[in-house]
Amino acid sequence: MSARPEEARAVAAGITAPAAAGPFVIETEGLTKRYPGDRLAVDGLDLRVPEGSVFGFLGPNGSGKTTTIRMLLGLIAPSAGRARLLGGEMPGAERRVLPHVGALIEGPALYGFLSGRDNLRRMDAADPTASRADRERRVAEALERVGLAPAAHRKARTYSLGMKQRLGLAAALLRPRRLLVLDEPTNGLDPQGMREIRALVRALAADGTTVFLSSHLLDEIEQVCDHVAVMAAGRLRAQGRVAELLAARAARVTVTTWDTEEAVRVLAAHGVRDVRPEGPGRLSGEPPAGLDPAALNAALVGAGVRVRAFGTEAITLEERFMELTGEGFDGGR
C-alpha cells in the first residue's frame, strides 16, 4: 500500500509522525493560508493530534501557530488543504463540532462591570437546552475547578491578569469538552498560578479531555505535554512524542579537563562529532550511536588525559527547538 501524501511529505522532511494506532482529534492535510500580497502564513501543514494527549504547539514569532488555530476553529478559511476537528471538516462542521470544543484564544473577553460568576452565567446562556439549575451548577463547578470560587462575587475589572486567565478557562469548561484549545494559558500568571494551570491541564487529560496547548514557555511544554509539534516560517518542522523528539538526538558527552587538545583528539578518534568548549576546561560533543561512555572515559584516561569530570547530558527541548528552527525562541506567536 502506498503512503498517504502527508506521510510521504513527513518522511521527506524528517518529521516524526504520531503512531497511527488511535484516533486523532485534529488532522490537517496540506493546510495552507495565504494572505493578500502573497504572504504565506501556513504552508502545507500535516498535523495530527492524538486523542487523549496533551499536545504542545511551539513556534517563534510569525510561525503560523495562531493562524493555524483560527483555521482549526473555523474562524478563518484555509487557502488550500483540509482540516478536521473531532472528525468534522472545518470550516463547515462548526454547529456539530464546536459544542464539544472549549477554547481560550488570545485572552478572555470579559464584562468588567459583572462579577466573575455573572460573566460565566452570561456566557453559559448561549446553551438553550439547559435549565437554570443546570447552568448554576455548571458555573459553580467551573469556578471551583479553576480556584476562583472565593472571588466569584467580585467584579471582573478587579481581577488580576492571572485571575482573568483562569476565568477564561472556567468559561471554556462550562460544559464537558472532548477538546480544549488553549493559546498561552499561563500568560500573566505568577509561579503558583502556573502550577495550578499545569495541575488543571493534567487533571483534564486524566479525565479524557484532549488539550491542545500553544505556549512560548518551553519548560512549561516539557513539564505538561506528552506530544509536541514545532512550527517555523509557516511550516511543520517536527511532531511526535516529546520523549521521541528528544531521543532523536543523542545525549552529549561532557569532559572536564585541562588537557583539552589531547581530549579533543581522543574524542574525534572515537567518532564524537561537534566537539566544542562549554567553558574553561570543559568540552562537549555528540557521540556516535552505540558508543559506550565508560569505554570512552577509559580511552581518555589511557591517553593520559587528566579527566576531572565525565558524563552525559541529555538535550533539552529548547536545544532541539533551536536545531529544528535555526533560531532562538523569542516568545512570539
Q: Which pLDDT does position 174 carry in this prediction?
A: 86
54-58/227-232 β-pairing = parallel
Q: Which pLDDT does position 250 carry in this prediction?
A: 62
- Claim to verify: residue 286 and residue 300 sit in the same structural domain: yes
User: Is position 217 within any domain?
Assistant: yes
- Claim to verify: residue 230 and residue 261 sit in the same structural domain: no
User: Is position 292 within any domain?
Assistant: yes
Q: Range of 73's domain? A: 5-247
- Claim to verify: residue 206 and residue 265 sit in the same structural domain: no
The CA distances from residue 63 to 40, 165, 180, 214, 310, in Å, are: 10, 24, 21, 12, 38
- Claim to verify: residue 35 and residue 174 sit in the same structural domain: yes
- Claim to verify: residue 203 and residue 294 sit in the same structural domain: no
Of the candidates 204, 221, 247, which is a domain's last residue? Answer: 247
pTM exceeds cut of 0.75: no
User: Is position 332 within any domain?
Assistant: no
List, for the chain, all residue ranges whose pLDDT scores fall below the cut of 50.
1-21, 329-333
Cell numbers that stand for 118 in this block = 455573572
- Claim to verify: residue 136 and residue 193 sit in the same structural domain: yes
Q: How many domains does the chain have?
A: 2
CATH of the domain at 294: 3.30.70
- Claim to verify: residue 44 and residue 165 sit in the same structural domain: yes
Look-up: residue for cell 520523549?
Answer: 243
Cell numbers that stand for 180 in this block = 480544549
Q: Which pLDDT does position 289 carry in this prediction?
A: 76
The DSSP output letter for 311 is: E
Q: Which pLDDT does position 315 carry in this prediction?
A: 65
- Claim to verify: residue 156 and residue 256 sit in the same structural domain: no
What's the CA gap between 275 and 7, in Å, rounded? 35
- Claim to verify: residue 131 and residue 268 sit in the same structural domain: no
Q: Which pLDDT does position 20 carry in this prediction?
A: 40
- The number of residues making up the chain comes to 333
User: Is position 51 within any domain?
Assistant: yes
Tens digits of per-residue pLDDT, 76-129?
Answer: 999 999 999 999 999 888 889 998 998 888 777 888 999 999 999 988 887 777
- Claim to verify: residue 183 and residue 212 sit in the same structural domain: yes
User: Is position 46 within any domain?
Assistant: yes
- Claim to verify: residue 223 and residue 86 sit in the same structural domain: yes
User: Is position 108 within any domain?
Assistant: yes
**Please, is 322 exposed, middle or buried when counting C-beta atoms within 10 Å of its C-beta (0-12, 13-18, 19+)?**
middle
